[in-house]
Chains A and B, each alone.
Chain A
């Protein structure tokens, strides 16, 4: 489960930034997990629960936003929304799509005390 190594990366990244800010604790972490990315939010939160132990993040809340999938359709010549990779263009039903958004895996913010 690659979510475990990603969870550890998230904790390391946030803890480093929190220490640089002189924080005693991190109470909240914001994550963006795109709908077309390589991560299942449920698996990620499960792994985060273990990864935060004995760190500044222990006990923090995770707010996960899920940016939707966006793709450029070469036939319609404009950007469309898709729910998953492999979906057809909602306009023309074709598959000449180039993913243009929704692959994010980012830490967006943290709340510290």
Chain B
């Protein structure tokens, strides 16, 4: 490493690549350094610092955007003792560990847990209310995720099923710790079904394992057929797609086959059920899927 400016000079490598993108720069004392190029990486400073490297992104010959150069200014004390420490830790490892604890707790109570994800307004809560009504004697509980208000939990409680509202504030998704806290306040329904309504958002919830048994994505026919291609992360991690509000199809130019084809481009073989909470279409299949999932979960232990 260049001990004056802190730029990597190629002795530290990750996956066979040097740590910095290639560049040449000149220090205040007139010395000029060239550093080995690497491809496919961003190099970015989280601050402004006291020397005159420019911070606008460069287009390097390899096509990478290069936002800044060097780790440290001349004034960094002890730069000569800088040490490189390998970490190789998954950023989501902590969430995943809590999710695993949730999953163990839910398995111990033989609870099928579904993480329901969709954009706002796809009809998740209406779908849940109708599903709870039709599940009849099956023990059901709900965890409701929203940024604000308890409106959705209130709607669920009106069915007689217990519901706990998790308000994420500015947060855009539920995480495993929120679900863990919710489970501490509202025990999972033994031998039943726990429905987790994630925050209405087709982007952020995808990255966060909650400890669910399955992920269910809901796409309503008032949205575009290209939703799975625009938001592939959510669809790629789902086990089932519910196509909601099908009672509206006669009034719309919506191509259900195209939506399904797009979903199967990002998630080959994903199960699909066309559903309407208003007409009841598809509920036999949906309840059948839930029953099969409960049996599968019991067999899996």
Closest chain A residue, CB of each to CB of B68: A61
Q: How many residues of A contact B (CB 8 A)?
A: 58
Are A13 and B89 touching (Cβ within 8 A)?
yes
Q: How many residues of B contact A (CB 8 A)?
A: 60
Contacts of B77 in A (CB 8 A): 113
Contacts of A109 in B (CB 8 A): 12, 14, 84-88
Are A6 and B91 touching (Cβ within 8 A)?
yes
Are A57 and B88 touching (Cβ within 8 A)?
no
8 Å CB contact of A30 from B1, B19, B45, B68: B19
Question: B144 on the interface (CB 8 Å rule)?
Answer: no
- Chain A positions 92-113 with a Cβ under 8 Å from a chain B Cβ: 95-99, 104-113
8 Å CB contact of A113 from B41, B78, B203: B78
Q: A45-B44, A63-B41, A105-B91 are in contact. Are A86 and B229 (CB under 8 A)?
A: yes
Are B43 and A85 touching (Cβ within 8 A)?
no
Are B84 and A86 touching (Cβ within 8 A)?
no
Question: A56 on the interface (CB 8 Å rule)?
Answer: no
Looking at the assembled complex, report how far the CB atom of A19 sits from the nearest CB atom of chain B, in whole angstroms: 12
Q: A45-B44, A86-B265 are in contact. Are A27 and B82 (CB under 8 A)?
A: yes
8 Å CB contact of B232 from A59, A84, A110: A84
Are B41 and A106 touching (Cβ within 8 A)?
no
Are A64 and B232 touching (Cβ within 8 A)?
no
Are A59 and B86 touching (Cβ within 8 A)?
no
Number of residue pairs spanning A and B whose beta carbons lie under 8 angstroms apart: 172
Contacts of A49 in B (CB 8 A): 46-47
Question: B124 on the interface (CB 8 Å rule)?
Answer: no
Are B42 and A64 touching (Cβ within 8 A)?
yes
Are A108 and B85 touching (Cβ within 8 A)?
no
Cα A25 to Cα B81 with chains together (Å): 11
Q: A2-B208, A61-B71, A109-B87 are in contact. Are A28 and B19 (CB under 8 A)?
A: yes
8 Å CB contact of B14 from A59, A95, A108, A112: A108
Contacts of A95 in B (CB 8 A): 264-265, 268
Task: Identify the A interface with B (CB < 8 A).
Answer: 1-2, 5-6, 9-10, 13-14, 17, 21, 23-25, 27-28, 30-32, 37-39, 41, 45, 48-49, 52, 57-68, 74, 84-86, 88, 95-99, 104-113
Known contacts A65-B14, A86-B228, A86-B266, then 5 further A-B pairs from the complex at CB < 8 Å, ordered by chain A residue = A6-B92, A37-B207, A59-B49, A66-B42, A105-B207
Q: Can you name 5 A-B pairs with beta carbons within 8 Å?
A: A6-B91, A28-B19, A38-B207, A111-B71, A113-B82
